[in-house]
Structure 1
Amino acid sequence: MTPRLHTDASNGHLRRLGDMMLYQFRMGTNPRRVSIYLSEKGIDVPRYELDYANLEHRTPEYLRINPSGRAPSLVTDDGTVITEAAAIVEYFEELFPEPTMIGTSPEQRAQVRALERLGNDLIARSMLWLWNTTNAFPRKEPQPSKAFADMLYRHVDELLAVLEQAIGENAFLAGEIPTIADCTVFPIFQTARERFNLSYAAHYPRLNAWYENFRARKSAEY
């Protein structure tokens, strides 16, 4: 694989990490969790865009990096491979704790992590719903079922209702500044609403306001 570099930052203060490589699929929900976070933090990491359409993520070369054949994967400067979006985000948060995106006290960090874990569950349930709502994932679900999708959305809606209550009058999910919780939850909204033009969480006014607020940030650009 020949690396292709990609620069993405929400401000002019970049911290460039030239000896790492982030393997991504730009439109993917989980990879976007990392790219949005890096943009918010102003961290510039060399990127390699996997050709999902031609199954580059399933080639022996990539499977040696990530045996699950999924994105994202981060190869650090010492050759360590980190393969899950949440782990990659927390790795960078430990490297660059300022400005914080996880909170400054044990209580704040616990609150942010709770919302981020909720976001993980939301993504898992929502992806199963998407596999059965669209025909875009034939390798995941060759025979989409509307009945199954309707049942799944009830479980999606259960978590959306919790987030609607949790956000209250805050600008962001955990308060007045963006956190890793926003970076986790926003991409599944964007995937459903923009990539697939589906109604998703439309009847939750607080989440709709939060989505429009975060969508206006440079980090949220496709």
Structure 2
Amino acid sequence: MIFYDCSTAPSPRRARMFIAEKGLEIETRNISIADGEQFSEDFLKINQRATLPVLVTDEGSALTENTAIAAYLEARFPEPPLLGRDPDEKGRVAMWNTISEQQGGTAVAEAFRNAHPAMKGRALPGPLDLEQIPELAERGRRRVEAFFALLEARLQQSPWLAGDAFSMADITAFVFTDFARVIRARIPEDNEATQAWFGRVKTRPSASL
């Protein structure tokens, strides 16, 4: 297997944490998004969408989505389970992972890519050059606030997002909550359950990668 990573981007960090939580050592090649290496001829042969992460499997498939990478690694290396231990938990992991992607990750990206000067002409990842829309940046910031409130409500009921075990859903929510610093958004101090959860994830060795 070969893992194509970018040390500064949130999406590859999710896969990096998943790999670390599995205790795996996979050959890794760093692709610098800042230097535009995702648009190089060699990388486009691997992923024509010019996005990261990518896991090239032993069978030769290029998996370009975190959910696909997680599904493959979980199937090959089931311990420790990160996608759920029984049908009900698997459903909850999938649900909270998707919520964290759509309500958290997309919101942060919306705010960041539509406002930051470095993202001018790059409002969406991938090969298309798209202009920023300031109104979407403001909408993204409001959505991030709503996501933090959603996390707090859930984590007041459960130690981890999908139940009583750490899972892929926690990785996704943690990475995007941490990345919200790029739009100067932080977990509100009053959100004690979320602050405690964030602290627990942060102490895990995978979170330092």
Describe the superposition over 1:55-102 as per-residue Cα deviations: whole angstroms up to 9, x where unpaired: 110012111110110100111112111111121011101111122112
Show the counterpart of 1:214. 201
The alignment partner of 1:70 has SS state of: coil
Question: How many residue pairs were aligned?
Answer: 200
Does 2:115 correspond to 1:120? no
Q: What is the 5 A alignment of 1:171-210? A: 171-193=159-181, 196=182, 198-203=184-189, 204-210=191-197
Describe the superposition over 1:167-209 as per-residue Cα deviations: whole angstroms up to 9, x where unpaired: 225332223331010111111122223xx37223325322222
Does 2:92 correspond to 1:92? no
Counterpart pick for 1:61 among 21, 42, 48:
42
The alignment partner of 2:122 has SS state of: coil
Contact map agreement 1:29 1:187 (CA 8 A) in 2: yes
How far the C-alpha of 1:143 sits from its partner, in A, is 5.0
TM-score of the superposition, structure 1-length normalised?
0.82
Contact map agreement 2:109 2:140 (CA 8 A) in 1: no
Show the counterpart of 2:23. 42
1-side partners of 2:171 and 2:192: how far apart?
19
Counterpart pick for 2:84 among 103, 127, 137:
103
TM superposition outliers: structure 1 runs of 4+ over 6 Å = none
**Structure 2 portions without partners, runs of 5+:** 124-130
2-side partners of 1:177 and 1:168: how far apart?
15
Show the counterpart of 1:130. 112
Shift of the 89–173 alpha-carbon distance from structure 1 to 2, 3 Å rule, reads: same
2-side partners of 1:76 and 1:137: how far apart?
31
The one-letter amino acid of 2:201's match is: F
Contact map agreement 1:135 1:144 (CA 8 A) in 2: no
The one-letter amino acid of 1:160's match is: F
**Structure 1 portions without partners, runs of 5+:** 1-19
The alignment partner of 2:29 has SS state of: strand
Deviates more, 1:159-168 or 1:175-184: 159-168
2-side partners of 1:216 and 1:28: how far apart?
20
Query: How many percent identity over aligned positions?
Result: 28
